[in-house]
Amino acid sequence: MPRQAAAYGLFLAAFASPVFAAEPVLGLWRAENGETVSVRACPGGFCGRIESGRHKGASIGRVSAPGPEYKGRISDPESGKTYVGAMLVEGDRLHLKGCLMEVFCKTVQTWRRAGK
């Protein structure tokens, strides 16, 4: 019985972490160019990947929890460059921010949750 209780405790501790909690950034998003992008849990936070269109399969970055503003590195598949940036969730919108010299940040794109 003590082993079962310990195993159950470890299970709860693992799945109660912020990465496994329902984060608003998770799911499918429609980019401004019409491509679909998925944001999923990955080691250390959340990872984005393009699911449709010309850059299908390309990574668009990795950001850390918790939200609503997820900071990390955002990649531009068109140029191949990666920037310090963030994803900010506001309702059914996801704002991607890019930063110049890690100081001057602005929203470079706003996506909508797919299916809305």
Q: What is the mean pLDDT of residues 24-46?
A: 95
78-115 core/surface letters (b: 16 or more CB in 10 A; e: else): eeeeebbbbbbbeeeebbbbbbeeeeebeeeeebeebe
**Which CATH architecture group holds 2-113?**
Beta Barrel (2.40)
Q: How confident is the model at residue 3 (pLDDT cuts 50, 70, 90)?
A: very low
Residue 12 is predicted with a pLDDT of 31
pLDDT in tens, 50-77: 999 999 999 999 999 888 899 999 998 9
pLDDT in tens, 10-32: 333 333 344 445 689 999 999 99
Q: pTM (2 decimals)? A: 0.75
Domain ranges of the chain: 2-113
